[in-house]
Amino acid sequence: MAGCGDAKKPEDKAEVKKDTVATKTEEVSVYVPDSATMAKAWMDFMTPGDKHAWLATYDGKWNVEMNSWMSPDAPPVKTTQVAESKMILGGRYQQTVFKGSFEGQPFEGIETLGFDNGKKVFVSTWIDNMGTGISMMSGTMDDATKTITFEGYGTDPVTGKDQKMRQVVKFPDANTQTMEMFCEVGGKEQKNMEVKMTRK
């Protein structure tokens, strides 16, 4: 009866072969910039430029009108708020603090808007007292229309997972900003907010 350890032994005069395993080390080329190149890259990355100077022109105090929809077939909830924008961290980012009320509750939100010199895109974060997550978006500007289209993610409190978001932010003149926000619900995008900001 065959069983474990039934292999032939050398004294059985059977040919014994030794397996050999060939190993090969592949050379991987890794680019390591010299110190001068690294220093210039960091300097370019950290130095505010034309896009940051443009953002600074929208510093100031604003009246805010907002329409929001909890569902596409529901009438919008209309609220008014005030906001103040100012450049922070040496002119690298613009922080806007929103204050007002939403459905009878005190509301406060903070947006950080900047331009990433490395990625060449605008970047935005949002936090408020109606949640505990951070929404993060990035986008590019159509210079002809002064429109930034952002795409990114926030937290869906129902599922606890990322929710795809899109914002269209327009700067028609020095005293006006508008924003439309769209969120993906059940695989379908729907508008959930419109905002108009007018300089005080």
The total of other beta-carbon atoms located within 10 Å of residue 165's CB is 21
Nearest by Cα to 172 from 137, 144, 200, 139: 144
Query: What's 51's DSSP letter?
Result: H
Quote the CA–CA distance of 182 and 119 in Å, as a whole number.
24
Nearest by Cα to 182 from 196, 171, 193, 197: 193
More confident residue, 161 or 4: 161
The total of other beta-carbon atoms located within 10 Å of residue 168's CB is 15
CB 132 within 8 A of CB 124: no
The total of other beta-carbon atoms located within 10 Å of residue 195's CB is 20
Instruction: Show the domains of the chain with their CATH numbers.
Output: 49-199 (2.40.128.20)
Rounded to an integer, the average pLDDT of 179-190 is: 93
Quote the CA–CA distance of 96 and 82 in Å, as a whole number.
10
pLDDT of 1 reads: 34
pLDDT of 25 reads: 65
Rounded to an integer, the average pLDDT of 74-78 is: 91
pLDDT of 6 reads: 41
Quote the CA–CA distance of 83 and 108 in Å, as a whole number.
10
Give the chain's end-to-end CA distance (angstroms, integer): 96
More confident residue, 18 or 83: 83
